[in-house]
Structure 1
Amino acid sequence: MVIKQNPLYREIIEGLDWNLLDTSNHSQSNYKKLPKKPRAYLLIACSSDNGITENEILRTCRLSSGRNYCSELERKLGITLKRMDESNTDGIGSHYRYYLANREDAQKVVNLILSYENSLLTDSDISQILALYPIKAA
């Protein structure tokens, strides 16, 4: 997996958000483990236009089906994730790379993450995520 340039994405990949967070990086106290769904949604939101594969979601979030979380985002938020079909490295089969189309969709995902009780996103985190996406053309 290629580590993206976004610092928040790197923080997630390194596992800092999955357990107790360093309070110097975030304003909230009393951190609890981030639940699976917002964990997957956050990873998708932070992947920018590079996107994220089903396999990366599985490995990073330790979930059973990365595809289900992408489909659930689409259903819940009324958005359509962009998909790119990629061949597996072993040459057998393929998988999708999913990514958000624009800032409006990213904002919807952020709002969904914030709706969870244990959301750990700060204003700075939200700004970093939204800055990754173009504004939707009128």
Structure 2
Amino acid sequence: MVIKQNPLYREIIEGLDWNLDASNHSQSDYKKLPKKPRAYLLIACTGDNGITENEILRTCRLSSGRNYCSELERKLGITLKRMDEPNTDGIGSHYRYYLANKEDAQKVVNLILSYENSLLTESDISQILALYPSKAA
């Protein structure tokens, strides 16, 4: 998986530890995020690596990974870039989704922040936004 190479992915996603039962942290250290902001955060922090439906499913342990991308587009009025990518088993394909620019990433961050216990710090937000180019004029 390409996104595993992204240090921001490791810091934000693995650091939050979605499954607290296997964590070294207590329940008071990290409250479990609801599935939507969890998926949105994953999408936002992948930068130009993007994310596939299957990666959302495996990483967040959610079903219907593409639904979270589609919902972001509807809620925020943005269009995610898509690239059709063959599955590793050679059977079929899935889309790899990308946020287009910094402005779209900011909209996603604002949506994540609207959820209670979003766990995003100013440093996290700066790192996420630094992954994206500014919108072309």
Give the TM-score band, short-chain normalised.
0.7 to 0.9
3-state secondary structure, aligned to 2:84: strand
3-state secondary structure, aligned to 2:94: strand
Q: CA deviation at 1:30?
A: 5.7
Q: 1:25 to 1:129 in 2, by over 3 A?
A: farther
Q: CA deviation at 1:115?
A: 0.2
Structure 1 spans left out of the alignment, 5+ residues: none
Q: CA deviation at 1:28?
A: 14
Q: CA deviation at 1:88?
A: 1.0
Q: CA RMSD in A?
A: 3.5
Q: Per-residue displacement from partner, 1:53-87 (whole Å, max 9, x unpaired)?
A: 00000000000110000000000000000000011
Q: 1:123 to 1:25 in 2, by over 3 A?
A: farther
Count of residues in correspondence between the two structures:
137
Q: CA deviation at 1:29?
A: 7.6
Quote the Cα distance in structure 2 between the aligned partners of 1:27 and 1:122.
Answer: 19
Q: 1:60 to 1:27 in 2, by over 3 A?
A: closer
Contact 2:16/2:30 (<8 A) preserved: no
Structure (1 or 2) with the greater helix fraction: 2
Match of 1:123 in 2: 122
Task: Name which of structure 1's ranges 24-33 and 114-123 shifts more when overlaid on structure 2.
Answer: 24-33
Contact 2:17/2:23 (<8 A) preserved: no
Q: 1:26 to 1:45 in 2, by over 3 A?
A: farther
Contact 1:26/1:122 (<8 A) preserved: no
Q: 1:24 to 1:129 in 2, by over 3 A?
A: farther
Q: CA deviation at 1:14?
A: 3.0
Quote the Cα distance in structure 2 between the aligned partners of 1:115 and 1:60.
Answer: 22
Q: 1:97 to 1:23 in 2, by over 3 A?
A: closer
Q: CA deviation at 1:119?
A: 0.6
3-state secondary structure, aligned to 1:120: coil
Q: Per-residue displacement from partner, 1:103-130 (whole Å, max 9, x unpaired)?
A: 0000000000000011100000000000
Identity among equivalent positions (%) equals 94
Structure 2 spans left out of the alignment, 5+ residues: none
Match of 2:81 in 1: 82
Q: 1:26 to 1:104 in 2, by over 3 A?
A: farther
Quote the Cα distance in structure 2 between the aligned partners of 1:128 and 1:25.
Answer: 25
